[in-house]
């Protein structure tokens, strides 16, 4: 069993055992009273333990204690916490989870608040590209707005995996992997690739078989939400094709239409000579 890490007070993370993942198919040894001890998947580790966070550790004890109380309240009525989270994120900009919590509290509000959440998240990703939830939360908000391709660009970076996107990290928390796998599956469904989405669902099911994220993905793939997800995927496909046709029309060289030259008035025929003598000749 892997050695436990020294806990800190960051409630962005859960508690549990350190689990190793390597570049092999998912496998693990299971016990009746706990999840598998060892997983083999990809080339990074997943932990259920509290992750070290120096920025949080440096906060006053009263603030850390308040964080522990805020986190469960986020699941019940996050909107009430908006004023407090605004104040905490402004006071401690070096602690990204405050801004992340504020964004998630705003996303369930009015349209103006949802717009603010997206703007804050875009800025957070620019300011802190190494913060894992800056990427996944932004992808989540974009999926909510049916911006599937923009979300996919954040989740599926060509030539990169999680390890290469975050080369300085070898250990990821289960909450990070859960969010990434859930959003990746959701995006693949909306991209019309349900078989790929099932791979992400199966991986997550190996890690957390009773997770609400797994249940939601099952609904999207085979349950009550599957039909609407197929409709959304088809709508996106139709929209993409329509945009491609419109772009092709723009690229076509425009043929010049012949200019309409105004018709010239018909010239009058020359006057025919008369057989009558000129009147002046009559007086000669």
Please determine, for residue 277, whether its predicted confidence score (pLDDT) is greater than 50: no
pLDDT digits (tens, 9 = 90+) for 77-127: 899 999 999 999 999 999 999 999 999 999 989 999 999 999 999 999 999
**Cβ(204)–Cβ(182) below 8 Å:** yes
Mean predicted lDDT score pLDDT of the chain: 80
Distance CA 14, CA 66 (A): 17
Distance CA 263, CA 267 (A): 12
> What is the three-state SS of 177-193?
HHHHHHHHHHHHHHCCC
**Per-residue confidence (pLDDT) for residue 249, from 0 to 100:** 81
Please determine, for residue 233, whether its predicted confidence score (pLDDT) is greater than 90: no
Q: What is the pTM of this model?
A: 0.72
pLDDT digits (tens, 9 = 90+) for 130-172: 999 999 999 999 999 999 999 999 999 888 888 888 988 888 9
Q: How many CB atoms lie within 10 A of CB 30?
A: 10
Residue 271 confidence class, pLDDT cut points 50, 70, 90: low
* C-alpha closest to that of 96 among 58, 134, 63: 134
Whole-number percent of the chain with pLDDT over 90: 53
**Per-residue confidence (pLDDT) for residue 281, from 0 to 100:** 39
């Amino acid at each position: 069993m892997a050695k436990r890490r020294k806990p800190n007070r960051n409630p962005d993370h859960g508690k549990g055992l350190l689990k190793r993942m390597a570049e092999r198919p998912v496998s693990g040894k299971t016990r009746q009273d706990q999840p598998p001890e060892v997983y083999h998947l990809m080339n990074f580790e997943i932990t259920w333990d509290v992750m070290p966070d120096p920025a949080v550790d440096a906060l006053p004890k009263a603030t850390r204690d308040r964080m522990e109380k805020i986190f469960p309240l986020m699941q019940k009525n996050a909107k009430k916490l908006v004023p407090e989270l605004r104040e905490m994120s402004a006071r401690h900009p070096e602690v990204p989870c405050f801004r992340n919590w504020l964004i998630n509290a705003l996303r369930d509000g009015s349209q103006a608040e949802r717009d603010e959440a997206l703007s804050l998240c875009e800025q957070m990703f620019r300011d802190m590209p190494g913060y894992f939830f800056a990427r996944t939360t932004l992808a989540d908000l974009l999926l909510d707005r049916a911006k599937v391709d923009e979300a996919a660009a954040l989740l599926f970076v060509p030539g990169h995996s999680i390890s290469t996107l975050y080369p300085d990290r070898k250990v990821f928390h289960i909450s990070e992997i859960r969010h990434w796998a859930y959003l990746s599956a959701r995006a693949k469904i909306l991209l019309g690739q349900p078989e790929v989405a099932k791979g992400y669902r199966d991986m997550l099911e190996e890690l957390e078989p009773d997770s609400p994220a797994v249940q939601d993905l099952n609904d999207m793939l085979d349950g009550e939400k599957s039909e609407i997800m197929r409709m959304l995927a088809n709508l996106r496909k139709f929209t993409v094709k329509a945009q491609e046709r419109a772009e092709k029309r723009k690229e076509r060289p425009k043929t010049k239409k012949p200019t309409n030259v105004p018709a010239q008035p018909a010239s009058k025929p020359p006057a025919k000579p008369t057989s009558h003598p000129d009147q002046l000749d009559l007086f000669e």
